[in-house]
Amino acid sequence: MAVRGAGLGLGVGLALALALWAAVAGAQGVGFLTEQERLASYCAGVSEARMRFQDLFLKQQCANSTRRECKDVAEKLEADKVRDKRLWDYLTRQVFTSRDQGRRERTLAQQQIAKGNDDFMTCQRRDPTKRPEELLVCRDSQGCLIDARFGFLVQ
């Protein structure tokens, strides 16, 4: 009888411990980002850097210019702003304001954003004799084809 009671006490204790762990884990997130969230974070950083780069180009190279290149970059920038907003809305909803995510997930997302930003800028500062396809950071940052990878964000 004493053994049976001890087993029951252990079972209840284990159940309470698991319930407590689940509650704490739920409040703190899972400690990682899904592949989609990681990629979205990285691409948000790339997108942010790309738009800054486009804006700087327009300000420095295209003030009062009617060159076709300037018009193309201006149109691309406007389209990129729309896609970037959709991507940030997704990240905000999935990571930054989600109750399912904790501090660790937000930090991981911020690290991926910074990495995407750095990779894009590193690619832009590469040796002009090197093609972008030759450098991993360029291939990674160019892989952020938001329309192709995040088509589900188009609404």
In the chain, what are the domain boundaries? 1-30, 31-153
Q: Are 95 and 154 in contact (CB under 8 A)?
A: no
- Element at 86 (helix H, strand E): helix 68-91
pLDDT of res. 25: 46
Q: Are 109 and 43 in contact (CB under 8 A)?
A: no
- For the beta carbon of residue 116, count every other beta carbon within 10 angstroms: 26
For residue 133 the two structure tokens come to 């396809």
pLDDT of res. 65: 86
pLDDT of res. 118: 93
For residue 145 the two structure tokens come to 């084809």
For residue 60 the two structure tokens come to 């420095």
Check: pTM over 0.75? Answer yes or no: no
Distance CA(9)–CA(31), nearest Å, equals: 31
- For the beta carbon of residue 29, count every other beta carbon within 10 angstroms: 19
For residue 43 the two structure tokens come to 């691409």
Q: Return the minimum-mean-pLDDT range out of 48-62, 63-77, 78-92, 134-148.
A: 134-148
Alpha carbon separation from 139 to 7, 122, 132 (Å, rounded): 58, 11, 7
Q: Binning pLDDT at 50, 70 and 90, where does residue 146 land?
A: low
